[in-house]
Copies of this chain bind each other. A is one copy, B any other.
């Protein structure tokens, strides 16, 4: 029991080519085992997301719900025993969707289930009514003859594929971000987007879209997958399908929100920081349970588990609840800018923003020479079902702003098979969270924070991206 495995391994290393110094000492590993056991008994992650989604609910950046979320997080962090709790102000746009309605008017009158895309301008009062013109993809719209599009509602009907790692999202979400600009460039009067969704339930999936200077700002809405199929069936009967779209969305200018930060100060290298984060804001139609109440629960629980066992990590563990992720990583960029002088002290950063888990693989982006530390960390997570992944992680949405400035990152990959069934819909509610999955995820983040805050390994400089 007192015999040191690390010392043994170090001794053996003298004889074994390629064996590195052990990145974790025995005390760290022993405490890691205790933390894992503790985390697997804990309901904290679920309790946190239950509290946030019930007591706050929707919390779109800039809204009253967002302000209540910040107050909720500050109070929660203050009650936890963190060494420091801070709010860092972030200037955020305040957009509200207001009234939204669409219907087929001719030749088969019926309502459509829609959701205004975030940032969309409103229609003129009373709405716009026009023929629709359908495209399989954004690229097809971009390649279209403007004469086919002019004066119409452009309808992009790109279906998303379901994958465990969510890789079906990227190819399709481009049309949400850029579709209105592409449509306006061809003379369209509005955009109807098949929801970026793997579900066939009748929810429209919102999400942010963008305009560019010099191109007309046209209103943009997502329609539910069954409604997209319905329009396509109508178009198979005749070309002239008329839709009326009315959006009363409001640009309410800019306001202040906050990144909420809680810290466990490191015992020996407090200036070095391990960041675990999630975003506090959510879309407005659901209660933001999977996106990203779950992440808030996971990283908050990870810190709580470490605090519970009253052993300090060597480095500082910093929990960051980012503001305004949904409308453009605004809190993450503010964090990056605010901490610019300090980013060299960021040992590694990770975030939880892909539902409740479970986590099946850990990717990294660290110096190749430091991969043994990652491997040794994953070995501690193996009883939880986590395997070692690649070394070109992007870190996740909010954390993705850090590697360009040299910060090492990790990606703790969650099973996202069903994530895009609920993403950005009214149906993103607490009941969609599996208590066992979020418990496992919180346990993994607990080990990540603890081990990275105690690793004896230099993670920098990080390699350039390879994909």
List the interface of chain A (C-beta within 8 A of B): 50, 53-58, 64-65, 104, 108-111, 113, 200-203, 225-226, 229-230, 233-234, 237, 285-287, 425-427, 429-432
Contact = CB atoms under 8 A, between A and B. Distances in A.
A104 B425 CA distance: 19
Nearest to A236: B54
A427 to B, nearest CB: 4
26 contacts: A50-B233, A53-B230, A54-B230, A54-B233, A57-B104, A57-B108, A57-B109, A58-B110, A65-B109, A65-B110, A111-B285, A113-B426, A200-B431, A200-B432, A201-B201, A202-B203, A202-B286, A202-B426, A225-B431, A226-B429, A226-B430, A226-B431, A229-B431, A230-B287, A230-B429, A233-B430
A111 B283 CA distance: 13
Given A230-B287, A233-B50, A286-B202, A57 B430 contact: no
Nearest to A54: B233
Contact of A430 (B110, B113, B229): B229
A118 to B, nearest CB: 17
Given A55-B237, A56-B108, 19 more contacts: A53-B230, A54-B108, A54-B233, A54-B237, A56-B110, A58-B110, A58-B111, A64-B109, A65-B109, A65-B110, A200-B432, A201-B201, A201-B427, A202-B427, A202-B429, A226-B427, A226-B431, A230-B429, A233-B430
- What is the oligomeric copy number? 2
Contacts of A427: 201-202, 226
A234 B113 contact: no
A146 to B, nearest CB: 30
A203 B426 CA distance: 9
Contacts of A429: 202, 226, 230
A200 B286 CA distance: 13
A339 to B, nearest CB: 33
A331 B50 CA distance: 47
A234 B108 contact: no
A418 to B, nearest CB: 12
A205 to B, nearest CB: 13
Contacts of A65: 109-110
Contacts of A64: 109
A234 B430 CA distance: 13
A145 B139 CA distance: 64
Nearest to A426: B202
Contacts of A200: 431-432
A285 B102 CA distance: 13
A132 to B, nearest CB: 15
A349 to B, nearest CB: 32
A395 to B, nearest CB: 31
A294 to B, nearest CB: 15
Nearest to A431: B200
Contacts of A426: 113, 202
List 4 tightest A-B contacts by C-beta distance, closest first: A57-B110, A226-B429, A202-B427, A54-B233
